[in-house]
Structure 1
């Protein structure tokens, strides 16, 4: 049941690197209150708000938010149990999409539960978003407003490309290049495995099956650098759905340094097109190097969650992408 008061009650599913960063992003907000969280082994719910430090400490020291006193519960079906208990307006799905069907499975679980509200993900893969597109009708019928691809890329940079495209009569190319620097890959295990799945000779199943030691060995060989080209990234399908250009004109790649918090290169999107006067030109939108991956993923995710709440309160349900709807800034 969605509240009609000003404060939006938010849950975070998944409490790895992104989930923990999401808790930090929400801490100072007055328009959103973080009330629910689940990881693989348990969940925590407190309608007056959760303590980020306590949840992060429970994860670090005992392996689950289920150990947070007095609100935590250990559970093998943590998401289902949290859903049945928690009173929330929306959830950020900070979950690893491993296997590649996982996010669609989670969406189906929400549909079947009878829950109504807003869901936001930061999905990467085109094929994962295609699976969600097949659930459009079911999400709409269930009274769920689902915002997909709402991280950094896809997300912030896709939306920037959609805006930049307006200067042109025809779009020739959209090229997204990202640089990510993290001091320690273990803080973002699932994200790094998803990146490894894009490397030549790897796929989602192979990356998912890798032990931490095997990931360490791979990173040892590459000096901690993952260089990624022509990734299967949902920016392409999102810009195609928005009518901006065909997906074959969109390319995404980047460099991830797993041993250094400094970005190996500046994250940017270049949109090249032809104006109505026949001029060929390129717009470039560059993110500040000081903004972390977490800041560029979680900030937009909650901006899109707020936009989703506005749609939901007007009775608009179904599936939307970051290229279709403007995010709203969360105070």
Structure 2
């Protein structure tokens, strides 16, 4: 691979986008050159100062007020057309559920070519992207979807662990997330609430911050999630590992305490060629944050996507089909 730094753009600058910027800061193989939020964007070909961007965002509500910034109601489309970027991490809330597919259409329409990576959660959102497979190929875009923690890191671990078995019986993903303050991850928490009984994506998206606050007061800040509509299922099915009905995802999110309420793990149960029933369990360290487990893999997949593009491979791939590459 050439020694040239991979120029990275971030779409979305909430909790996840800001953490992604911090993760990129010490990397020698990548540099952050572009950021877009709801009200503006910032672009600097020689690199952006993440601390300055975060300060500007907190003080004024948009990165567009900072150095190299532009205030705009059409920030994503303008940035795509302005910036020279090798790959974007779409750290965007997928609310409404069509949002990621809509953004992808903007990239296709613009004529931009490069690598896109997302940390999508919902099966139905990945299904929408699958309908764009041919368009992405024609456009010269390499898109890696479901590249966070789950789907992402844990789905990839399941794909590797499955190799010990002749037949997979089930894949069970259980996650624990601890955050000190829900407001740092508003979009993520809304997406989680959308999975709760009595809620859906539209209802969660329409909730005001006060309504979210009131709901969390009722649950003591704890969200318990079961049998979620999570794209790990379609990703493992597409990779030929098992049927989507054999995959289950659930977990506990504590929105008031940075300590994880339980350890995040994936358990793969199957039958070996000798006829033995066994299970592999892969557990993430409790000290690794949601941000570390989502953004780290996303950039590992972005680096892999750059290599795939250099080999002429375009179109849509998932985290269960490609190995991420470690970003130094």
Q: Does 1:258 pair with 2:262?
A: no
- What is the distance in 2 between the residues matched to 1:130 and 1:299? 24
The answer on 1:172 being equivalent to 2:169 is yes
Aligned to 1:44: 42
Q: Secondary structure at the match of 1:188?
A: helix
- Looking at structure 1, the residues matched to 80 and 41 of structure 2 have their Cα atoms a distance apart, in angstroms, of 10
1:125: how far off?
0.0
1:202 matched to 2:199: yes
Equivalence for 1:313: 310
CA RMSD of superposed structures (Å):
0.8
Partner of 1:163: 160
- Structure 2 counterparts to residues 78-117 of structure 1, below 5 A: 78-117=75-114
CA displacement at 1:4 relative to structure 2: 6.2
Q: How big is the shift at 1:58?
A: 0.9
Q: Cα offset for 1:24? A: 0.2
Q: Secondary structure at the match of 2:59?
A: helix
The SS at the match of 2:78 is helix
Paired residues for 1:3-14 under 5 Å: 6-14=4-12
Taking the TM superposition and a 5 Å limit, the aligned residue runs for 1:36-75 are: 36-69=34-67, 71-75=68-72
Report the Cα distance in structure 2 between the residues aligned to 1:116 and 1:314, rounded to whole angstroms.
Answer: 14
Q: Secondary structure at the match of 2:250?
A: strand
CA distance in 2, matches of 1:200, 1:168: 35
Give the match for residue 300 of structure 1. Answer: 297
The answer for unaligned runs of 5 or more in structure 2 is none
Cα distance change, pair 4–105 in 1 and its aligned pair in 2 (3 A): farther
Q: CA deviation at 1:282?
A: 0.5
Number of equivalenced pairs: 328
1:35 corresponding residue in structure 2: 33
Partner SS for 1:328? coil
C-alpha separation in 2, matches of 1:174 and 1:84:
42
Q: Distance in 2 between matches of 1:4 and 1:163?
A: 29
1:124 to 121, 124, 134: 121
3-state SS of paired residue (2:230)? coil
Q: How far apart, in 2, do the equivalents of 1:160 and 1:116 lie?
A: 29
